[in-house]
Homo-oligomer: A and B are copies of this chain.
């Protein structure tokens, strides 16, 4: 069965819980980073175009680009692909990000940087507007009012349809929302956040609250879903959680120091990282069990990871990545796995992972007396 058929069926079923504004945008392709474009992914444009075309024809209509990686090559190549394919502009959604750093030119987040970034992306993509622009990380030096007004400006100019965030804490998103309300600006609609079997706290505990209270949906990604690791069970332990390689890639992506990163997780979510060796061993055990389960279900570890993420209804979009057609095809087939993930299987996974996040108990100051 061609994945498209399955896709459409599932899409129909899930639209009831789908994302607020673009109801069927649920499965999307994460391209433009180390997988599809450049950095050891499909390095030539023909392969990239084939992947994009298969995605589009399979019902995927969201394409997420990331200016930071691979120079600006991803946007330029994707723009050329769109030009050649000449699909109806209303049939797909292009999202990109605003990156900033503290080292080079264009340093710091500012109205100037936001506007210049969006204009540059439009030129590279050869589009008259981008559907969603996400700001990658908050700059504590830039007032939230300035960010919010600048995003409202690029929307009011018609350059952008919606705006979102990427790697913001729930508190930062809430602050943005408050500023939008104070200055009558358009509110953000999406947070792009990491979500996988071993990182569940923010997506499962905090994002549903944000979605229900202020309409910010979750666009989830993980190293597995975006194709950074082999999805073959035998390799997964090594490539997914070998901390050093993970850290290197992660930090090149996140523009922060590794130290900050781990500190951050600890402070924000109470998830204390142990020594790398210790962690790797612990994850290895769990991984081995998940891989065994995947084998029983007749799928790869990667496919199980994707299907598991999609079972969570608070994931409005899941980012997929692929460096060639086969990888994408394999990822898409994981959609057929979803119906198989019944309560029993889900419970078994939960038992293996043993990391279901829960809110810390409220501490009553009265009780302390």
Contacts and interface: CB of A to CB of B under 8 A. Distances in A.
B112 A93 contact: yes
A99 interface: no
Contacts of A142: 20-21
A145 B158 CA distance: 18
- Give the most central of A91, A110, A141, A156: most B CB within 10 Å: A110
B141 A112 contact: no
Interface stretch (A76-84, A101-109, A240-248, A255-263): A101-109
Contact of A131 (B23, B112, B184): B112
A110 B183 contact: no
Nearest to A21: B110
Interface string A146-173: 1001000100111001100000000000
A215 interface: yes
Size bracket, chain A contacts? 35 or more
Contacts of A344: none
Contact of A111 (B89, B102, B162): B162
Contact of A21 (B22, B24, B108, B184): B108
A8 to B, nearest CB: 10
Interface string A203-215: 0000000000001
A342 interface: no
13 contacts: A15-B102, A21-B108, A21-B141, A21-B146, A23-B141, A90-B112, A90-B113, A112-B162, A115-B158, A143-B215, A145-B187, A149-B186, A157-B158
